[in-house]
Amino acid sequence: MADALNRRQSVRITDRILLSCKPLGQERFEVINEDFQSGIPPYNQEGLADIQMYIGAQTALNRLQQRDKDLADFLKHLDTKMNALLRKLRDEKTLFDELEPKRANLSGSGLAFSSAEPFTPEEKVELHIVLLPCYIYIYSIGKIVSSEADENDQEGKSYKVAVEFILLMENDREKLIQHNFKKQSLALRNRRLEP
């Protein structure tokens, strides 16, 4: 049983996602981890409600797009305008502004991506991950496994970063695994259709 679970978690894909990865202080990590161990989900933190509303709206719009494309397009434009107005009113950076489109290698146990900033091995980081195109939001805390200069970057300004999840809700891990299986199935189907 454990071997099957490990195999499921180790299924990896390379995909385009929205990602925010930033260092997390030990004190804050201990508070979040203590809450998590007491059964309080990490999603109850201040500031995460906004992103969950945004992601929820994007998910609903994505489903609506399959039934009524014109209505979904109209509502997406309204949503974009409302978000722009809210940013101007707040006059501050939000988590939305920190999410960047990235190519990442994902599994149920961690991820790897390219970063303009180096990280320190063993450093704890806060991860906000949005799986596309379905806008599935996942919050996690990870530990930097490695952060090395990218040898393919001629200017030496990017780093290959590998992160292991150390705090991830099991239903979020399952969402990642299911996403990876869907992407693998789609890639295999597309290969079969190629002449």
Mind listing the pLDDT tens digit for each residue in 56-88? 777 777 777 888 888 877 877 787 777 667 667
Phi first, then psi, for residue 137 (nearest 5°) are -95, 135
Phi first, then psi, for residue 154 (nearest 5°) are -65, -30
> Which residues are registered as beta bridge partners of 114?
160
Structural domains in the chain, CATH included, are: 2-193 (2.40.10.220)
Q: Where are the beta strands (DSSP E) in the chain?
A: 13-23, 100-106, 110-115, 124-131, 136-149, 159-167
Q: CA 84, CA 90: separation in Å to the nearest integer?
A: 10
Q: How large a percentage of the chain has pLDDT more than 70?
A: 81
Residue 144 has pLDDT above 70, yes or no: yes
**What is the pLDDT of the chain when averaged over all its residues?**
83
pLDDT (0 to 100) of residue 138: 93
pLDDT (0 to 100) of residue 62: 75
Closest to 165 in 3D by CA, of 109, 104, 107, 106: 109
The separation between the first and the last C-alpha atoms of the chain, rounded to the nearest angstrom, is 39
H/E segment holding residue 8: helix 2-10
pLDDT tens digits along 164-186: 999 999 999 999 999 998 888 88
pTM strictly above 0.75: yes
pLDDT (0 to 100) of residue 188: 75
pLDDT tens digits along 15-61: 999 999 999 999 999 999 998 888 888 877 766 666 666 677 777 77
Q: CA 94, CA 13: separation in Å to the nearest integer?
A: 29
